[in-house]
Amino acid sequence: MPALWIAHVTVTDADAYGKYAELAGPAIAKHGGTFIARGGRFVQLEGKERPRNVVAKFPSVDAAVDCYHSPEYQEALNHARGASERELMVVETTD
């Protein structure tokens, strides 16, 4: 079943986070992920507001988790650490 990778982010260092985004996109695509929301308008109804929200669709939970642990994504993530506050989850869809 497909899965959604959902990230809620507050960027604290735009330059470093820009390098993360530059590397993360290809890593996500390599594992079958496609972006369905990247930034854009949102309405926070509950919980902690994060100004950047990203959703990518993957073929499966395993594909999304494999992407996260891949060397390519971990290299990208090194630029996000210390440059952002984030929450990231993977949720299986009902498709």
The pTM for the full model equals 0.90
If we measure between CA atoms, which residue out of 75, 95, 73, 94 comes closest to residue 7? Answer: 73
pLDDT in tens, 7-24: 999 999 999 999 999 999
Mean pLDDT of the chain: 95
Listed in order, strand segments (DSSP E) in 1-95 are: 3-11, 34-38, 52-58, 84-92
What is the 3-state composition of the chain as percent helix, strand, coil, each rounded to the nearest 5?
A: 40, 35, 30
Distance of CA 55 to the CA centre of its chain: 6
Domain boundaries, the chain: 3-92
Task: Give the class (CATH, top level) of 3-92.
Answer: alpha beta
pLDDT in tens, 67-89: 999 999 999 999 999 999 999 99
